[in-house]
Amino acid sequence: MYNLSFYIIYRTLNALGGKDSVFTATLFTTVLIGLHLMGVGAILVYLNVIDSFPRFSDSSFYNKLYLYIPSLVLVGLVFMYFTKERAKRIIEKYEQRDQAISFLNVLFFLVLLAVPIFLLATIDVRGK
């Protein structure tokens, strides 16, 4: 799922003439994973497994400062997965397929992107 997303982003960036596409595609995949984590959290709130998303501070400034730490950890973890060797393997694997960038695959990627946004937009994760 994330390998395919990575490849689609990589190919898109390359088509747009981007430099350092593997690095940028990895970061974009990080954003996607971050959204999915928040989407899962939203489902947990909806199912009353958790009350609400934790907010570290009422002040947006401090809240965001705290949020930078887990975000940075997430970036690190994703980069540990998408190593240069693995990125190369993924790209080669999808390059060998005739229909890697097919309508269905792109649609799947867009759905992956849209679903967590939809969940976050419709579920009030601030609790009661």
Partner 1 sequence: MLDDVEVSSAKSPKAKPVQADWTSASNISSYGGAAHTIYEKLIFNRHRFEYKPSKGPNAGKWVPIWKTNKLGETIRYVDALPEEGYQVLKNSKNAVAKYANGKNLTRAGKVIGTIGIIASVYDGVTSKDGWKNHHTADVVIGVVMTFGPVGWIGGLTWFAADMITQGITGKSITENLFD
Name residues contacting partner 1, limited to 28-57 (CB under 8 A).
28, 30-31, 34-35, 38, 42, 52-55
Phi-psi domain of 17 (left: phi exceeds 0; alpha: psi -120 through 50; beta: other): left
Is there binding between residue 67 and partner 1 (CB under 8 A)?
yes
Q: Which is nearer to partner 1, 96 or 104 (CB)?
A: 96
127: left (phi over 0), alpha (psi -120 to 50) or beta: left
Residue 22 interacts with partner 1 (CB under 8 A)?
A: yes
Report DSSP state, residue 82: S
Residue 6 binds to partner 1 (criterion: CB under 8 A): no
CB of 26 to partner 1, least distance (A): 9
- Which of the 8 DSSP states describes residue 58? S
Residues near 49 by beta carbon (within 8 Å), at least 6 away in sequence: none
Give the closest residue to 124 by CA, choosing from 48, 37, 64, 32. 48
Contact region with partner 1 (CB under 8 A), list: 8-16, 98-106, 107-115: 8-16
Binding-site ranges for partner 1 (CB under 8 A): 10, 13-14, 16, 18-24, 27-28, 30-31, 34-35, 38, 42, 52-55, 58-61, 63-65, 67-68, 71-72, 74-75, 87-88, 91, 120-121, 125-126
